[in-house]
Structures are given as C-alpha cells and as structure tokens.
Amino acid sequence: MDHLDEISVKELQDALENVDGNKPTQRLLAAIAYKNGVTQTELAEWHDTGRRTIYSWLKRLDTDEPLEQAVADDKRTGRKRKLSDLELKHFQETVHEPPEQAGIDTPAWTPALAQDYLEETYSVKYSIPSCRRLLKEAGLSYQKPRRSAAESDENEKEEFYDELKKSGGRWTPP
C-alpha cells in the first residue's frame, strides 16, 4: 500500500498514545505491524477478521485529518424513537399510576398491557421486549405475582393446618 509510505511508525505510535477505545487502538496497532512488514493476510488472522477489513483500516489512514480521528468511528445515533419526548414522558407518568387511572380495568401494568396502551393511545407498535425496556426506563421493576393463602377459603385453611398437625408436619395426600 503506497499511502502508508507517507506515514512513519513514530507518527502511528504517537497517535496510539492519544486514542481511546479498543477499535482505534486495534487499527493503529495493525498499521504499525503493517509498516513493520506484517502482511494483510497475517493481520487478518491475528485480528480474526478478513483481509478486506484490514485493507479498510489501513485505507482510513490515507487522509488529511489527524490519525486519531481517522481511526475513530463516527458517532452512531441509532434508530429514531417511535414516541416523541413528550409522548414518552406522558407514558412514563401514566405507568406510575395504576392502570385504572388510564381507564383500564386491571390491577397492574404488564408489558402486554403497555403494548396495547401504546398502540391505542399513540398508534405505535412495540414488541413485548421493547415494552419491558420502556417500563424499566420509566423506573418500574418486574414483580412476580405470588399466590396468597388469603385467596383460599378460611375453612379449608383451618382443615389443612389441622391435617398438617396430625401428620407431624408432613404433607400426605388424603
């Protein structure tokens, strides 16, 4: 590669001291090794990647910008959110209240309930895992429902405890 002829190993080493992050460091180390006679094929094996990737890393250095910037990735913004900031804030305020406040006859928010609410209220479709994430971002935590002895009949509870005492603390089928 002719374009690395204009860059010295010293310049690459100086840039290496000024970069943060794994990828920029890896790219500069590959360039230093290449300048010291290691082939692109060998570099690809060392870094467990393809020759084309190594070529791209080295090609990045053929620029007028500082080496530290040349080896760094551009900021990735990700996908735009389906809800606006105002809608998200309103949703978060809503889920901090019982669902009954939103006109839903159920005792607690679930990801499936949040999914239905978001679709009906804001006309946006979210997956169940995304609804879990939204509920977590809103500051809610998952609570596993537990059966309560209070749900059983009082007479049945007394009979059970009487049988338990008779059996010496061992549960035995009738």
Domains of the chain, by residue range, sit at: 2-70, 85-137
Q: What is the pTM of this model?
A: 0.47
pLDDT of residue 147: 63
Whole-number Å distance between alpha carbons of 12 and 18: 10
Distances (CA, A) of 2 to 7, 29, 64: 10, 18, 15
* Token digits of residue 133: 């994430």
pLDDT of residue 126: 95
Collapsing DSSP states into helix, strand and coil, what is residue 103?
coil
Q: How would you write the pLDDT of the chain (174 residues) with one tens digit per residue?
A: 556 888 888 989 888 898 888 899 999 999 999 999 999 999 999 999 999 999 999 998 888 888 888 888 888 788 888 999 999 999 999 999 988 988 988 888 889 999 999 999 999 999 999 999 999 999 888 776 666 655 667 777 787 777 777 766 555 554
Q: What angle do the packed helices 22-35 and 51-60 form, to 10 degrees?
A: 90
pLDDT of residue 6: 84
pLDDT of residue 107: 84
Residue where the block lists tokens 């002719």: 2
Whole-number Å distance between alpha carbons of 173 and 32: 76
